[in-house]
Amino acid sequence: MSEMQATYLKDYLPPAYRVTHTELTFDLDPTATRVKARLHLERHPEREAGLPLVLDGEGLTLKQVAIDGQPLEADEFEADAHSLTIARVPERFRLDTEVEIAPDTNTALEGLYRSNGMYCTQCEPEGFRRITFYPDRPDVMATFSTTVIGDRESLPVLLSNGNPVEQGELPDQRHFVTWEDPHPKPSYLFALVAGSLEKVEDHFTTQSGREVLLQIWVEPENLDKTDHAMASLKRAMRWDEETYGREYDLDRFMIVAVNDFNMGAMENKGLNIFNSAAVLTHPQTATDAAFQRVEGIVAHEYFHNWSGNRVTCRDWFQLSLKEGFTVFRDQTFSADVNSAPVKRIEDVSFFRTAQFAEDAGPTAHPVRPDHYIEISNFYTLTIYEKGAEVVRMLRHLLGWEDFRRGSDLYFARFDGQAVRIEDFVACMAEVSGLDLDQFMRWYAQAGTPEIDAHGEYDYATGEYHLRLSQRTPATPGQSEKLPLHVPIRLGLVGTKSGHDLTLKLADAAGGSETLGKDAVIHLREAEQTFVFQDVEEAPVPSLLRGFSAPVKLRYPYSREELAFLLTHDSDGFNRWDAGQRLTMLALDDLIAAHRNGVEKVMDVRLVEAYRSLLDEPGDDQAVLAEMLTLPSEAYIAEQQPVVDVDAIHAAREFVRQSLAWQLRDAFLAVYRDNQNDEPYAPTPEQIGRRKLKNVALAYLMSIADDEAIGLTQAQFKNSGNMTDVRAALTLLAHSDRSDLAEPALKAFGEQWAHDPLVMDQWFTIQVTRPQPDVIERVRFLMEHPAFSLKNPNKVRALIGAFAQNRVNFHRLDGQGYKLLADVVIELNRLNPEIAARIITPLTRWQRFDEERQVLMKAELERIRGEKLSPNVYEMVERALA
Ligand code: PHE
Ligand code: ZN
């Protein structure tokens, strides 16, 4: 079982041979595409002479191989299922190979495949080896010249990286285009697209005056869905110049939308390939959330041109070098062009729900893992989102100016190279003079650190003592953890004045340093006490402002203190967080009541806190909408030692309905005040209003009286944008009244049957219903003509969404688990990468009660009994270890 072997970071060696230039010719055919590769190779200066040449190759039919024009005899090379080995090669030589591949039967969507008749590629991380024999690793960087040959009629558009340099007609109604990419790149950034596509064009003039042609290529029916992506691209290009001094470096930048794509999008040099869900928008078909997602992903892929492409990763253990930094960059971009506090609230609530769960589960791994079986399994929330939080901590520790200088140094020093995470951190240390050795532990240690905080105010001396202790729980393969270097941004809010007090921090030498009213302190020890002097009044501490570190911070706040912070904290994020903590206290009581069979009583302090929010709506509707949104069931579950799905659902519903009953008029007023007749625009103001209005409507529909139903039905029928239509449809479809749900679902399904991205939403809405008939509905919808297991978006929309339906997925008859396992088994054959992703909820069995644990493990065992791909094998083995 050689493919099940692990790869270790400690075993890294430079490649024996490197490629300086790569020439490719594709002769496209659905079942027999011919790929000719001419590689200009030379021995790596750090490796010894005489080593064999070993190239990666997966599922390739080799037709020819020659060195410096001399065809090789059968005994001069060896080709097996994963590689081509040539024992004796010169120091510097030209290798020609020709292989045949079958894009049509490629359901894994890695390498060259077909989507809706068009050809496209996905090469990260190890897809290029499914196209041709190559040293398929990111530290081999070559210039590329690519000729694409295809049928003139059905494939009028032939694209690859870089600039088109030649095109022409060929016999048999075929034509060709040759592309040249002058920037040396690893094979994972290679891309090819061929199809009957149409384009929308625009231009961008860079800060140094270079004219760049911008193109978005789509299927003809989607030409009216590209405006927002194009506008987002231009904003991102300008922002990266202004914020990071990064300028685009080719004459054209292309984006292509494809329907079948495993991930969101891919940053191939000059030719980004996007999941259509991550690029297409139209007010009538995409929600505000989708508009914002598109903006963020377009920016993310564009930003990779520097953080990933110009400077890339030495090996895949360094994946977070490009992903963590780029996610941090796209988060800051979105914050800058939208509402910054809302962006942070959204990112953190997602992070604390999903990444914390990953970090606490059997697949927990460090931001830089030290081994893997299948690298595709490591495109995780830890690598991406925790990686971004680690970069954000560097920003906190250095301050923006030094951080920017560190970033400049990094790009200047390593341009055109494949480097490691410590190279990045070393630049940050060098420009700031800060010792970041201890900080490097963030990359090596898995698990979410837990920080306990205690504060004490001494009226006599005016001193405030903040005692912090940290510990990181054991994770698989890592039992001992060392203290981390944690930046804690904080303020002390005066209980009398309601204002931030000046922070004067005592130092060890008996002196003190005045830090201002909002500052970052450095926690480095397992236990450390910070003494603040001359604190004029008793404070409530506002800790970890803006979520300055990816930790769980506990502080024994009373409900009164939380209510105080909810209205007085100067940090918008922490005001929201105080509300979440207050709600969690109430929920904890209700969950306990439910479990003990005691009558549930609503916490009046929570009602009053919500009332005060509604009475003084402020001017950021989006922030208010977030403040009025209850923690999700998944987030609540994260806080429980043993997850009781039914108690959580019941408690949360109880809070929702109690608030709705007691604040009904206020919610009605908010709903009415935030109607908007302007034409749709995805501006932060409009998005905030719609969000607030729809949060209010959801509360009202939790009572479902005639007025609420009337408003919801009217919104469903009359609204011209998908945000409002979907919000209303969801409320109707999730109500207990099938006479409301069914007609609305039917009308919507018929209206949008032609639009796959809208049908995805239709699937999701139905399978996230709390009603118990959902499992049957999922099985039924899997037979729907708009559904296909071969399309990852459909799998996510139906199966992935169902597995997030906590009460139904975790049904005690085990049918939810069985359904997911059935799909995993089938997808294991079709698309292992997607199979290994959707299995995740089953791997979290340890969090549940005995009965469910047994059921979940049984399904994992059933999967283990199959002939598994390395992807699913690794996930199951970790889950059952
Ligand atoms: N590198 C892509 C991104 O972050 C993600 C991706 C990974 C896409 C693997 C496809 C395959 O933006
Ligand atoms: Zn990325």
Mind listing the pLDDT tens digit for each residue in 266-294?
A: 999 999 999 999 999 999 999 999 999 99
Which one from 110, 301, 833, 859 is the annotated catalytic residue? 301
| Least distant ligand from the CA of 321 | 2
The Å distance, Cα 434 to ligand 1 centre, comes to 32
Active site residue 833: no
Taking the centre of ligand 2 as the mean of its atom positions, its distance from the CA of residue 540, in whole angstroms, is 39
Question: Tens digits of per-residue pLDDT, 88-144?
Answer: 999 999 999 999 999 999 999 999 999 999 999 999 999 999 999 999 999 999 999
Spacing, Cα 377 to ligand 1 middle (Å): 12
- pTM, 2 dp: 0.98
pLDDT at 148: 99
| pLDDT of amino acid 677 | 87
How does the average pLDDT of the chain come out, rounded? 97
For the chain, which ranges sit under pLDDT 70? 1-3
What is the Cα 777 distance to its own chain's centre? 28
pLDDT of residue 617: 75
Q: Among residues 837, 840, 5, 839, which one has the least CA distance to residue 374?
A: 5
Q: Which helix (H) or strand (E) holds 292?
A: helix 288-303
CA distances from 748 to 698, 757, 765, 771, 775 (A): 19, 13, 11, 20, 21
Structure tokens at 461: 């001396």
Please state the atom number of ligand 1 nearest to the C-alpha of residue 297.
12
Q: Which amino acid is at 264?
A: G
**pLDDT reported for residue 8:** 98
630 CA to middle of ligand 2, Å? Answer: 30
The predicted structure's pLDDT at residue 3? 53
Q: Which residue has the tokens 């914002």?
A: 292
Quick one: tokens of 91? Answer: 């120091």
CB 157 within 8 A of CB 195: yes
pLDDT at site 4? 85
Question: Which atom in ligand 1 lies closest to the alpha carbon of residue 301?
Answer: 12
Name residues contacting ligand 1 (CB within 6 A).
122, 124, 262-263, 265-267, 300-301, 323, 379
| Calpha distance 726→289 (Å, rounded) | 11
ipTM over 0.90: yes
Shortest-distance Cα residue to atom 11 of ligand 1: 124
Mutational test site, ligand 1, from 263, 293, 294, 376, max ligand atoms within 8 Å of CB: 263
Contact in structure between 842 and 820 (CB atoms under 8 Å)? yes
Residue 147 to residue 145: CA distance in whole angstroms: 7
Q: Select from 324, 437, 442 the least CA-distant residue to 391.
A: 324
Taking the CA of residue 326 as reference, the ligand 1 atom at the shortest distance is 4
Q: What is the CA radius of gyration of the chain?
A: 28
Kindly tell me the sign of the dihedral angle through the C-alpha atoms of 537, 542, 543, 548: negative
Nearest alpha-carbon partner for 836 in 866, 809, 868? 868
Ligand 1 atom nearest the C-alpha of 127 is 11
Which pLDDT score, from 0 to 100, does residue 2 have? 43
Query: What are 412-429's pLDDT values in tens digits?
Result: 999 999 999 999 999 999
Rounded to the nearest angstrom, the distance between the alpha carbon of 316 and the centre of ligand 1 is 12
Calpha distance 515→491 (Å, rounded):
10
